Amino acid sequence: MIEIAPSILSADFSNLADEIKKCEKAGVKILHIDIMDGHFVPNITIGPVVVESLRKKTKMILDTHLMITDPEKYIEPFAKAGSDWLTFHIEAVKKPSALIKKIKSLKLKAGISLNPATPVSKLSKYLNELDLVLVMSVNPGFGGQGFIPSALKKISELKKLTKNQNVKISVDGGINFDTISGAVKAGSDIIVAGNSVFRSGLSIAKSIKKLRLRIEKHE
């Protein structure tokens, strides 16, 4: 079953509790949280305090995407704040295995993300240690950017490589009512969607329903 993970980056931050309740009511199981440090990416977002507040408001899986340098310093704070999944960027670390182990030792699911310019070969040797691979289909930093089609090839490649493994493949960036079909056909298990959930012009419930219908059509 393919899941939609709304990215709160595009939500109304002055009304976050309400926005995520609407997602939960629409049957969402995974909430995607973008952590940016103004260093690994040019933008700054939120830290563990906000995750801690969200944790009190929802039982959804908190899928935490660390777009930060030195992610090793922040594994424990995010684990304590209540994150369920922690994904770091392979471009930001020298020893991915050590970080995966640390995340797992805290009983969280571990993921690695790949920037659009980073090939799958950079992480293939870690696949058997991972729970999740997050394929970026935009350059990380901002919501609402256009989908980069070369991500599709990487998703299919990863799908083949993980055939007998329990690794979820997630796609992140530029997913809308049109681009979602390619991401589904390529083999994504999780579809991260920011603007197309929170800023589509439709209600959150209707946006999610429309995305789901597209998934069903192409599964």
Residues near Zn ion (CB under 5 A): 34, 65, 172
* Window contacting ligand DX5 (CB under 6 A); options: 45-53, 73-81, 87-95, 193-201: 193-201
Does 175 contact ligand DX5 by CB under 6 A? Answer: yes
Q: Residues with Cβ < 8 Å from 105, sequence gap 6 or more? A: none
Q: In the set 3, 4, 20, 65, which binds ligand DX5 (CB under 6 A)?
A: 65
Q: Of 142, 138, 166, 167, which is closest to residue 151 (Cα–Cα)?
A: 138
Q: Site map for ligand DX5, 20-59, x if CB under 6 A?
A: ------------x-x-------------------------
Q: How far is the CB of 58 from Zn ion (least distance, A)?
A: 18
Residue 193 touches which of Zn ion, ligand DX5, none (CB < 5 to 8 A by kind)? ligand DX5
Q: Can you tell me whether residue 191 is helix, strand or coil?
A: strand
Distance in angstroms between the alpha carbons of the first and the last residue of the chain: 9
Q: How far is the CB of 163 from ligand DX5 (least distance, A)?
A: 26
- Among 34, 37, 63, 84, the one annotated catalytic: 34
> Do residues 133 and 110 touch, judged by C-beta distance below 8 A?
no
Site for ligand DX5 in 69-128 (CB under 6 A): none
Alpha helices in the chain (DSSP H): 16-25, 48-57, 75-81, 96-105, 150-161, 180-186, 195-198, 204-218
Is 34 an active-site residue?
A: yes
